Amino acid sequence: MNYPYQLPQLGYDYNALEPHIDAQTMEIHHTKHHQTYVDKLNAVIKDHPDIQGKDLIELMKGLNSMKLDEACARAIRNHGGGHLNHSFFWKLMDPSNTKDEELTKRIEEKWGMDKFKEAFNTAAANQFGSGWAWLVEDDQGELQVYSTSNQDSPYLQGHTPLIGVDVWEHAYYLKYQNKRPDYIKSWWNIIKI
């Protein structure tokens, strides 16, 4: 993911995830929300040639220790996070629902699948306001479940996202309105475990 950043293709049609996520939500989410993160990120990085060649994930991992001006650091955190999170999210969701056997096994060994989903669902439901819930591999190679606010990426703390759900209202409001838990419950049907 090098500058200038671009909106990635989904790899499936906007209606491919129905009935779990409706086509209109997917299209607006991809072409409006994600595009805006990409455009705003590019606009800020345009004035910072020193970081234009850097990979976005590496920028995110080093963000807290880099000496960037505040506006630039904030843009990477928010719009760069938005770009990374959404690019990950589109790839994670799979209309064919092919299982990731290895990840399933790791989850089973650590928590058991039901307990993991319960913890993940709780993190997603309890995230106050906009944000994401995550399953990550931390810097020790351990699995962890937590939520983040806004577009904060797990890479900010050196963690690699394995599963993540967007719980901003723009991700589900047209179909589910205020019923975030219903959206999350349905969303599991298009996730690889």
Q: Whose CB is nearest to Mn ion?
A: 166
Distances (CA, A) of 42 to 5, 83, 94: 6, 11, 28
- H or E, element range at 148: strand 143-149
Task: State which residue, 104 or 186, has the beta carbon closest to Mn ion.
Answer: 186
Task: State which residue, 120 or 168, has the beta carbon closest to Mn ion.
Answer: 168
Task: State which residue, 107 or 152, has the beta carbon closest to Mn ion.
Answer: 152
Q: What string marks each residue from 109 to 148 as x (binds Mn ion by CB under 5 A) or -?
A: ----------------------------------------
Cα separation, 164 vs 85, in Å, equals: 8
* Cβ 49 to Mn ion shortest distance, Å: 29
Task: State which residue, 36 or 160, has the beta carbon closest to Mn ion.
Answer: 36
Using CB under 5 A, count the residues that bind Mn ion. 3
Write the DSSP symbol of residue 65. Answer: T
Task: State which residue, 131 or 135, has the beta carbon closest to Mn ion.
Answer: 131
* Number of residues that this document lists for the chain: 193
User: Which of helix, strand or coil describes residue 164?
Assistant: strand
Q: Which of residues 151-180 bind Mn ion (CB under 5 A)?
A: 166, 168, 171
35: amino acid identity, one letter: Q
* Cβ 118 to Mn ion shortest distance, Å: 24
Residue with tokens 């309890």: 126
Burial class (CB in 10 A: 0-12, 13-18, 19+), 113: exposed
Residues at the contact surface with Mn ion, assessed by CB under 5 A: 166, 168, 171
